[in-house]
C-alpha cells in the first residue's frame, strides 16, 4: 500500500516535471508550425520529412538541392534572405525576430538531414 502510494507520487512528479520542462521544438516542428517557420506553406519537402502539401511559392527542398550548402550559408538564408535577394518574399526570420538563433540552428540541422 505504502509502496504503491510512493510509486503514484513518483509518477505524478515525473508528469509535472515533463510538463514544466518542455523540450524545445525540433527542426521539423519549426518548419511546419504556422506560428514559427511555416516554411511548409511555401516549400515542399520529401515525403518522410514533412506533410504532403501543394506549396510551390518557393523551391522544393531536398538533399540534392541543398548539397554543398554549409551551415553558415543556410543560417544566413533563414536569418535574412533579402541579403541575397532584396526582392524575395521569404520572411527574414532572424532579422525580424520570428525565430531565435537556437531555433534557426535546429532548422539548419533539419535541412541538412533532408533525404
Partner 1 sequence: MRFPDPRALLATLLVLAAPAAWGGAEQVRAGILAELRERYPALSPADMAAGAAAFDAARLAQAQARQPAPGAAEAIAAGKRIWTHRFAKGRSLAGCFPNGGRRIAAAYPQYDRRVKRVVTLETAINQCLKTYGQPLLDPADPATMGAVLAYLRSLSEGQKVAIRVAGAAAEARFEDGRRLYFTRLGQRNYACASCHLRHAGSYFGDAALPPPVGSAVSWPWLREGHPVSLQVRIRECLERMGAAPFPAGSEELAQLEYFLAYLSNGLPLRPGAWRPADGPHM
CB 96 → partner 1: shortest distance, Å?
Answer: 5
Residue 20 exposure: Cα atoms within 13 Å on the Cβ side:
5
Residue 59 binding target from partner 1, ligand HEC, none, CB below 5 to 8 Å by type: ligand HEC
Sorted by sequence, the CB contacts under 8 Å of residue 4 that are 6+ apart come out as none
**Residue 54, binding choice from ligand HEC, partner 1, none, Cβ under 5 to 8 Å by partner class:** partner 1
Name the binder of 92 from partner 1, ligand HEC, none, CB < 5-8 A by kind.
Answer: partner 1
CA 108 vs CA 15, 19, 78, 89, 92: distances in Å: 31, 27, 9, 20, 15
Among 76, 80, 90, 92, the residue binding ligand HEC under the rule CB under 6 A is 90
Q: How many angstroms separate the Cα of 76 from the Cα of each of 33, 51, 81? A: 21, 25, 7
Q: Which of residues 7-66 bind ligand HEC (CB under 6 A)?
A: 37-39, 41-43, 57-59, 61, 65
**Of the candidates 9, 24, 26, 56, which one interacts with partner 1 according to CB under 8 A?**
56
Amino acid at each position: 500500500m505504502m509502496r504503491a502510494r510512493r510509486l503514484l507520487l513518483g509518477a505524478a512528479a515525473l508528469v509535472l516535471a515533463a510538463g514544466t520542462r518542455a523540450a524545445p521544438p525540433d527542426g521539423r516542428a519549426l518548419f511546419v508550425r504556422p506560428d514559427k517557420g511555416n516554411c511548409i506553406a511555401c516549400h515542399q519537402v520529401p515525403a518522410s520529412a514533412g506533410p504532403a502539401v501543394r506549396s510551390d511559392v518557393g523551391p522544393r527542398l531536398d538533399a540534392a538541392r541543398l548539397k554543398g550548402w554549409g551551415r553558415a550559408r543556410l543560417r544566413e538564408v533563414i536569418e535574412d534572405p533579402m541579403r541575397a535577394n532584396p526582392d524575395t518574399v521569404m520572411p527574414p526570420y532572424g532579422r525580424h525576430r520570428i525565430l531565435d538563433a537556437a531555433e534557426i540552428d535546429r532548422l539548419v540541422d533539419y535541412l541538412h538531414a533532408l533525404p
